[in-house]
């Protein structure tokens, strides 16, 4: 039977998207966002599929913001069966799965609770594999910059578990006995990882876990006192809950975060906390197929994916506290282009996504402003270059008023760069050369798109694209349309901004000054 399933799945891998492989008809659409459904519900052209796939990382993180009703939930028996199958015919070892499960838990925690605010973690580990996941998660959390503590009162005398304990001891992670633990956990910890029981839990919790569960339950009484309490993160099952019927008497723990592994178990339907994540990115298609699992794709290289709705937030409370090294006048380059290159190199080294994306602002003769993102395609002493359509809105505005501003924001580095100046078209040869360096699809796209004009529907673009794709399928040169080319902004003003604590940011402005007939850049610090 397994070989049949494997065979079937191989055939299905021709479908392009992970976890959408059941059959074309069952892609009956699990995920709510409108555009996702519309992409899949109707026949799609090759262009549609290709363009979707090239963006699939970002798309999949959007798809995961789905309706929980559409995700599969497992019964206790199914969870145990999947476990056995993974570790039997599918060739996994328990160590491997536990490592991936624990890593998923640690990455889920790190997505929501930053170590700068939530550093002290207590992992309360039970005797089974759920406890093992907790031990692994504690180790990863240590490496992520948290300060984990472990309470592991019923140690399992197996090499896997003693190895995990040794690894934690080698990192000087403290092990606390139940007697060492304060009765009130709220003062000493920011995060409590509930790794006591997973899907093999049955009956009523026995000592010492009954008492430990009770200590987690008690924390909610602090909610009324508005005292800050630690958040509870449950691995796979909130411990003490019935695996299928959840918190039967309503007096169990109420985790803030639940990290379901492999697929959520039935009790997860009753989870009311703010953050439900799925981890365990190891489910092979045979399992998904056999259990008809509808699971969201994991974004990019992530080990976890949010399922269910993201928490409703009060937007006014969203803020970051920037912590950066000092950015001082003595350290900067005298030439702002050199300084820009230095920061650009830092953005590259920090592996930021599209560090060359910049907001371009223009204004027509009526003085009305408009902004949009464009990609920087070159920078030198002559200025900053990007490419676009010469009949677009920005092009019209630039023809009326050849002044613009550029804005870079490098989020991971707490840095922003503003540049203002005058704009000219680049030479035809330069545009010609750049145009032919682009992927052929983008060259055709530039011909198809009468940028900023109204189109009756996406199908019109597809149709024209496909006609041109056919026309140039012999690999012949795709001529650059006359309406497509580059602009160069010659800078007259720069500002380099770096975020600092209490909003006392660094701002160094470069403005040109003539001294003895020579142009030099004057550097001023501006108030934040």
Ligand X SMILES: Cc1ncc(COP(=O)(O)O)c(C=O)c1O
Each residue 453-492 as x (binds ligand X by CB under 6 A) or -, in order, gives ----------------------------------------
375 interacts with ligand FMN by CB under 6 A: yes
The interface partner of residue 354, options being ligand X, K ion, ligand FMN, none and the CB cut-off 5 to 8 Å by kind, is ligand FMN
Q: How far is the CB of 371 from ligand FMN (least distance, A)?
A: 8
Which range, of 95-103, 363-371, 373-381, 444-452, touches ligand NPW by CB under 6 A?
95-103
Q: What are phi and psi of 413, to 5 degrees?
A: -110, 0
The rounded distance, in Å, linking the Cα atoms of 260 and 451 is: 45
SS3 assignment, position 478: coil
Using CB under 6 A as the binding rule, the residues of this chain from 352 to 371 that contact ligand FMN are: 354, 357, 370
Which range, of 127-135, 148-156, 351-359, 472-480, touches K ion by CB under 5 A?
127-135
137 interacts with ligand NPW by CB under 6 A: no
Q: How far is the CB of 127 from ligand NPW (least distance, A)?
A: 4
Start-to-end Cα distance in the chain: 67
513 interacts with ligand X by CB under 6 A: no
Each residue 252-281 as x (binds ligand NPW by CB under 6 A) or -, in order, gives ---------xx-----------------x-
* Beta-sheet pairing, 275-279 with 257-261: parallel
Residue carrying structure tokens 């090294």: 325
461 interacts with ligand FMN by CB under 6 A: no
What would the DSSP string read from start to end of 82-117? Answer: HHHHHHTTT---HHHHHHHHHHHHHHHHHHHS-TTT
The interface partner of residue 394, options being ligand X, ligand FMN, K ion, none and the CB cut-off 5 to 8 Å by kind, is ligand FMN
Q: How far is the CB of 385 from ligand X (least distance, A)?
A: 11
Strand ranges (DSSP E) for 262-382?
275-279, 304-307, 357-363, 369-375, 378-380
**Strand-by-strand arrangement of the 275-279 sheet:** 147-151, 120-125, 191-195, 231-235, 257-261, 275-279, 304-307
The rounded distance, in Å, linking the Cα atoms of 245 and 267 is: 5
| Annotation marks residue 120 as catalytic | no
* Distance from chain centroid for Cα 335: 36
Which range, of 44-52, 59-67, 128-136, 440-448, touches ligand NPW by CB under 6 A?
128-136
64 interacts with ligand FMN by CB under 6 A: no
194 is in an annotated binding site: yes
Choose between 254 and 480: whose C-beta lies nearer to ligand X. 480
Closest among 66, 37, 29, 63 to 308, alpha carbons compared: 66
Residue 428 in tokens? 């035809």
SS3 assignment, position 59: helix
Please report, for residues 118, 132, 177, the alpha-carbon distance to residue 129 in angstroms, rounded to integers and kept in the order given.
Answer: 25, 5, 19
The interface partner of residue 200, options being K ion, ligand NPW, ligand FMN, none and the CB cut-off 5 to 8 Å by kind, is ligand NPW
The rounded distance, in Å, linking the Cα atoms of 386 and 392 is: 14
Q: Which of 13, 23, 442, 453 binds ligand X (CB under 6 A)?
A: 442
Q: Which of 78, 83, 256, 506 binds ligand NPW (CB under 6 A)?
A: 83
* Binding site residues, ligand NPW, CB under 6 A: 79, 82-83, 86, 97-98, 101, 126-130, 132-133, 197-206, 209, 235-237, 261-262, 280
> Which residue ranges are tagged as binding site?
129-133, 194, 198-204, 236, 239
Q: Which residues bind ligand FMN (CB under 6 A)?
A: 354, 357, 370, 372-375, 386-389, 392-394, 451-452
Residues tagged active-site = 503
């Amino acid at each position: 039977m397994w070989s049949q399933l494997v065979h079937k799945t191989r055939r299905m891998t021709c479908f392009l998207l992970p976890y959408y492989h059941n059959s074309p008809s069952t892609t009956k659409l699990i995920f709510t966002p409108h555009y996702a459904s519309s992409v899949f519900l109707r026949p799609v052209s090759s262009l549609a599929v290709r363009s979707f796939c090239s963006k699939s990382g970002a798309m999949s993180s959007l798809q995961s913001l789905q309706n929980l009703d559409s995700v599969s939930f497992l019964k206790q028996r199914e969870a145990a069966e999947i476990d056995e199958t993974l570790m039997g015919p599918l060739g996994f070892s328990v160590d491997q799965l536990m490592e991936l499960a624990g890593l998923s838990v640690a990455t889920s925690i790190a997505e929501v609770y930053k170590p700068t605010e939530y550093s002290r973690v207590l992992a309360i580990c039970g005797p089974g594999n759920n406890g093992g996941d907790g031990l692994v998660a504690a180790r990863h959390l240590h490496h992520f910059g948290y300060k984990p503590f472990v309470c592991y009162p019923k140690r399992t005398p197996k090499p896997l578990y003693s190895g995990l304990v040794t690894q934690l001891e080698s990192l000087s992670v403290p092990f606390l006995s139940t007697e060492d633990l304060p009765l009130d956990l709220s003062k000493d910890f920011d995060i409590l990882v509930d790794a006591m029981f997973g899907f093999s839990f049955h009956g009523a919790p026995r000592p010492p876990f009954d008492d430990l569960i009770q200590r987690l339950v008690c924390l909610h009484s602090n909610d009324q006192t508005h005292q800050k309490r630690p958040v509870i993160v449950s691995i796979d099952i909130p411990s003490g809950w019935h695996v299928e019927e959840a918190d039967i008497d309503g007096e169990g723990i109420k985790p803030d975060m639940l990290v379901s592994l492999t697929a959520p178990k039935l009790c997860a339907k009753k989870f009311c906390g703010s953050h439900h994540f799925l981890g365990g990115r190891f489910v092979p298609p045979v399992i998904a197929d056999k259990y008809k699992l509808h699971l969201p794709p994991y974004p990019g290289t992530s080990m976890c994916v949010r399922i269910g709705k993201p928490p409703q937030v009060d937007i006014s409370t969203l803020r970051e506290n920037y912590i950066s090294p000092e950015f001082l006048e003595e350290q900067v380059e005298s030439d702002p282009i050199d300084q820009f290159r230095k920061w650009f190199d830092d953005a590259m080294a920090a592996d930021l996504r599209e560090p060359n994306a910049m907001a371009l602002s223009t204004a027509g003769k009526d003085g009305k402003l408009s902004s949009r993102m464009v990609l920087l395609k070159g920078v030198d002493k002559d200025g900053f270059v990007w490419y676009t359509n010469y009949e677009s809105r920005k092009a019209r505005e630039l023809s009326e008023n050849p002044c613009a501003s550029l804005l870079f924001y490098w989020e991971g580095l707490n840095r922003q760069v503003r540049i203002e100046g005058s704009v000219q078209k680049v030479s035809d040869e330069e545009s010609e050369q750049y145009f032919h360096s682009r992927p052929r699809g983008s060259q055709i796209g530039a011909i198809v798109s009468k940028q900023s004009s109204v189109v009756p529907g996406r199908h019109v673009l597809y149709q024209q694209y496909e006609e041109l794709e056919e026309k140039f399928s012999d690999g012949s040169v795709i001529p650059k349309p006359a309406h497509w080319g580059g602009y160069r902004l010659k800078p007259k003003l720069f500002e380099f901004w770096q975020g600092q604590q209490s909003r006392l940011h660094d701002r160094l402005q470069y403005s040109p000054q003539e001294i003895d007939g020579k142009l030099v850049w004057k550097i001023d610090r501006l108030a934040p």
